[in-house]
């Protein structure tokens, strides 16, 4: 008994007096200046002078950039010719039947006049309107693995409804490749042909990494319904740049794609005869086709939006700077004036005592839990 009591007393003594206080469970995070937001920080005071100066600075920077960009865009010379309606015979009532009939000649001749001098290189584009290349089913109907690797020729699971034809895989498969643009253009000036250079019209990264050098078209456009251009089965996909350009889908329903380049200067007043084949079907979806000849500048093609955007933002900044300056001069405010605080104001028709009473009542309601 004594030994048991001693053991009990010794254990009790060690538990009460010898051990430290039990550690409390807490979810309090470890203290740091970062978590407590106590790091040194710059807190600028936006005085009227600072605000006005910032607006003026932005305006001084943006307006010249906008003027330069707009001037560069206005230097671009463009010739835009819509031919989808003009190239349909006058006595044709059903345009869809006309474009789908392979026995009818689709040759068409257009005459263009150069409005200003156009320095080489002159870029030749085709423009399509109301063509939604960004449609979800259309964009997904392709096989990137098949385009890169000849061993993936039968990988057509994502290419519906143009994955196979006559029981064989289509290379390249999918709706995008199937619907490739197939109108052609030829240019003549003063009875001399203007050759169109179609080399390097696609992105270099696409040619080298997305389209294989040892992948060749196979069983393409052999189905019951022909979509667009046929491809040369003896040329690898990396060499078929019209296909590569078309496969880079556009984000908007109106888009241009590069057809080629003309490395000959054109003078103002020159007459260009365009011989084209109006093969591509845009009549089934009320689309439009246009031929575009365009020069370029250091900023690219003709695009007034960038310059107008810079001018608009710069002009708005100048206006705000002027408005704030007038406000600052006409009705200045002392920095840190407590009279502008809401609880220090004396609204018209109300006494300060009434305001103080309302604030006191609101405080009391908070204390007793009514608010």
Dist CA 361 CA 226 (whole Å): 82
C-alpha angle 292/240/221, rounded to 5°? Answer: 95
Q: What pLDDT shows up at residue 180?
A: 96
User: What are the tens digits of pLDDT across the range 134-153?
Assistant: 999 999 999 999 999 999 99
User: What are the tens digits of pLDDT across the range 169-190?
Assistant: 999 999 999 999 999 999 999 8
Q: Given a cut of 50, is residue 1 above it in pLDDT?
A: no
In this prediction, residue 8 has a pLDDT band, given cuts at 50, 70 and 90, of: very low
Q: Given a cut of 50, is residue 3 above it in pLDDT?
A: no
Dist CA 286 CA 128 (whole Å): 11
Greater confidence (237 vs 355) lies with 237
Q: What pLDDT shows up at residue 149?
A: 93
Q: Are strands 78-82 and 288-294 parallel, antiparallel or unpaired?
A: antiparallel
Listed residue (154, 156, 162) closest to 143, CA to CA: 156
Q: What pLDDT shows up at residue 158?
A: 92
CB 292 within 8 Å of CB 78:
yes
Average pLDDT over residues 308-317: 97
Helix 304-330 crosses helix 48-74 at what angle (to 10 degrees)? 160
Average pLDDT over residues 152-175: 92
User: What are the tens digits of pLDDT across the range 218-271?
Assistant: 999 888 788 889 999 999 999 999 999 999 999 999 999 999 999 999 999 999
User: What are the tens digits of pLDDT across the range 14-62?
Assistant: 444 455 556 667 777 788 888 888 888 888 888 888 999 999 999 999 9
Domain map of the chain by residue range? 46-76+299-332, 77-295
Cis preceding linkage at 161, omega within 30: yes
CB burial class (10 A; 0-12, 13-18, 19+) of residue 290? middle
In the chain the beta strands, taken as DSSP E runs, fall at 78-82, 107-113, 122-129, 164-165, 168-169, 184-189, 192-194, 255-262, 271-277, 288-294
């Amino acid at each position: 008994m004594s030994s048991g009591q001693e053991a009990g007393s010794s254990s009790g003594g060690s538990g009460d007096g010898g051990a430290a206080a039990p550690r409390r469970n807490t979810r309090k995070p470890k203290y740091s200046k970062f978590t407590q937001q106590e790091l040194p920080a710059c807190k600028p005071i936006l005085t009227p002078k600072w605000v006005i100066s910032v607006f003026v600075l932005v305006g001084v920077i943006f307006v010249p950039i906008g003027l330069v960009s707009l001037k560069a865009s206005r230097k671009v010379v463009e010739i835009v010719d819509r031919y989808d309606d003009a190239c349909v015979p006058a006595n044709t009532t059903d345009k869809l039947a006309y474009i789908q009939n392979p026995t009818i000649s689709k040759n068409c001749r257009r005459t263009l006049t150069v409005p200003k001098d156009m320095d080489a290189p002159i870029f030749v584009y085709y423009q399509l309107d109301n063509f939604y290349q960004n449609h979800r089913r259309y964009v997904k109907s392709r096989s990137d693995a098949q385009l890169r690797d000849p061993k993936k020729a039968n990988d057509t699971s994502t290419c519906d409804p143009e994955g196979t034809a006559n029981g064989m895989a289509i290379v390249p498969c999918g709706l995008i490749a199937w619907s490739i643009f197939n109108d052609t253009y030829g240019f003549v000036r003063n009875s001399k042909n203007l050759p169109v250079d179609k080399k390097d019209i696609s992105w270099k990264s696409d040619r080298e990494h997305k389209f294989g050098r040892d992948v060749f078209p196979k069983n393409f456009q052999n189905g019951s319904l022909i979509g667009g251009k046929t491809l040369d089965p003896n040329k690898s996909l990396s060499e078929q740049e019209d296909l590569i350009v078309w496969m880079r889908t556009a984000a908007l329903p109106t888009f241009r794609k590069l057809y080629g380049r003309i490395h000959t200067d054109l003078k103002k007043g020159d007459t260009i005869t365009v011989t084209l084949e109006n093969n591509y079907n845009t009549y089934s979806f009320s689309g439009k086709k246009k031929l575009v000849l365009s020069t370029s500048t250091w900023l690219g093609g003709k695009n007034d939006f960038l310059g107008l955007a810079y001018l608009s933002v710069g002009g708005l900044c100048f206006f705000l700077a002027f408005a704030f300056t007038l406000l600052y001069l006409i009705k200045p405010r002392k920095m840190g004036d407590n009279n502008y605080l809401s609880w220090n104001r004396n609204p018209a028709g109300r006494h300060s005592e009434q305001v103080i009473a309302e604030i006191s009542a609101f405080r009391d309601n908070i204390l007793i839990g009514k608010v």
